């Protein structure tokens, strides 16, 4: 599969995700600069990744400036035509800011930057239901949306991952950030735009002590 990774000023996980996709998962990777617009080398089966980081220094709200990058216009067009898009952490924030996904990522409820491993359970019924350990690193990861939007996400099976305990339960708040319904990752109704706050690209190689991230790419794209 072919992946394009958009680099914004302040992205800091672009290299990580390119390395994981290319070297750990043997996929084709093309770096993309946020000021360019050309996505003609990608088709519907390919995926554009918005990586983690601090685009434009996280001024205003995280992702609020990056959404105006020329490349984002092309990414929105690509997504609207059915192309796959994955946002990780800052990428999730950019996707919410650009309207490709509903809701918003608010400051963590404890008002602290959180950097640690968390446990996740895949919620999409098609995905394998095992508990994954994946790192998070964010200050604004508290997923929030109106009750109506949350109900719709739940009803349409758009919650991809939730923070959970070792048994995979999410009956109380297991999130590191206060997310509504322990939501860690969602997709759009059409199921071609995906996003999550945890960083699967940091857990794809045994040299890093964790390969659970591979399962995420397998769940989303059937690659491992």
Ligand X SMILES: NC(=O)CC[C@H](N)C(=O)O
123: annotated active-site residue: no
Output phi, psi for 4, to 5 deg.
-105, 130
Residue 1 CB contacts under 8 Å (≥ 6 apart), including other chains = 27, 28, 45, 46, 47, 221, 223
Q: Is 94 near ligand X (CB under 6 A)?
A: no
> Is 185 one of the binding residues for ligand X (CB under 6 A)?
no
**Nearest to 93, CA basis, from 114, 72, 119, 112:** 72
- 62 near ligand X, judged by CB under 6 A: yes
27, 69, 74, 90: which one contacts ligand X (CB under 6 A)?
Answer: 90
Q: Please report where in the chains the tokens 């434009």 appear, as a residue.
A: 56
Least Å distance, CB 180 to ligand X, is: 16
Residue among 13, 89, 96, 187 flagged as catalytic: 89
Q: Which of 42, 54, 143, 194 binds ligand X (CB under 6 A)?
A: 54
Candidate ranges 19-27, 49-57, 181-189, 212-220; the one touching ligand X (CB under 6 A): 49-57
**Would you mind telling me the total number of residues written for the chain in this entry?**
224
> What Å distances lie between residue 55 and 45, 154, 186, CA to CA?
27, 30, 21
Least CB distance from residue 169 to ligand X, whole Å? 26
Pick the closer one to ligand X by CB: 9 or 139: 139
Q: For residue 89, indicate whether it is catalytic.
A: yes
Which residues in 130-159 contact ligand X (CB under 6 A)? 137-141
Helices (H), the chain: 14-19, 70-80, 90-97, 147-155, 213-221
Q: Which of residues 46 and 140 has its CB atom nearest to ligand X in the complex? A: 140
Q: Is 218 exposed, middle or buried (0-12, 13-18, 19+ CB in 10 A)?
A: middle
199 is catalytic: yes
Catalytic center residues: 89, 199, 201
Binding site for ligand X (CB under 6 A): 52-54, 58, 62, 89-90, 137-141
């Amino acid at each position: 599969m072919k992946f394009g990774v958009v680099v914004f000023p302040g992205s800091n996980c672009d290299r990580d995700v390119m390395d994981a996709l290319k070297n750990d998962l043997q996929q084709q990777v093309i770096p993309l600069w946020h000021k360019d617009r050309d996505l003609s080398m990608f088709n519907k089966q390919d995926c554009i990744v918005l990586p983690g980081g601090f685009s434009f220094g996280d001024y205003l709200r995280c992702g609020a400036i990056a959404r105006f990058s020329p490349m984002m216009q092309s990414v929105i067009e690509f997504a609207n035509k059915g192309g796959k898009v994955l946002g990780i952490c800052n990428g999730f924030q950019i996707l919410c800011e650009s309207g490709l996904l509903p809701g918003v990522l608010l400051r963590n409820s404890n008002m602290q930057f959180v950097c640690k491993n968390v446990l996740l359970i895949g919620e999409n019924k098609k995905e394998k239901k095992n508990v994954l350990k994946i790192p998070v690193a964010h200050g604004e990861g508290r997923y929030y949306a109106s009750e109506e939007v949350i109900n719709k996400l739940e009803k349409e099976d758009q919650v991809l991952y939730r923070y959970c305990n070792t048994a995979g339960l999410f009956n109380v708040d297991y999130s590191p950030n206060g997310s509504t319904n322990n939501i860690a990752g969602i997709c759009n109704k059409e199921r071609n735009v995906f996003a999550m706050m945890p960083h699967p690209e940091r857990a794809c190689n045994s040299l890093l002590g964790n390969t659970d991230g591979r399962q995420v790419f397998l769940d989303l794209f059937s690659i491992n």
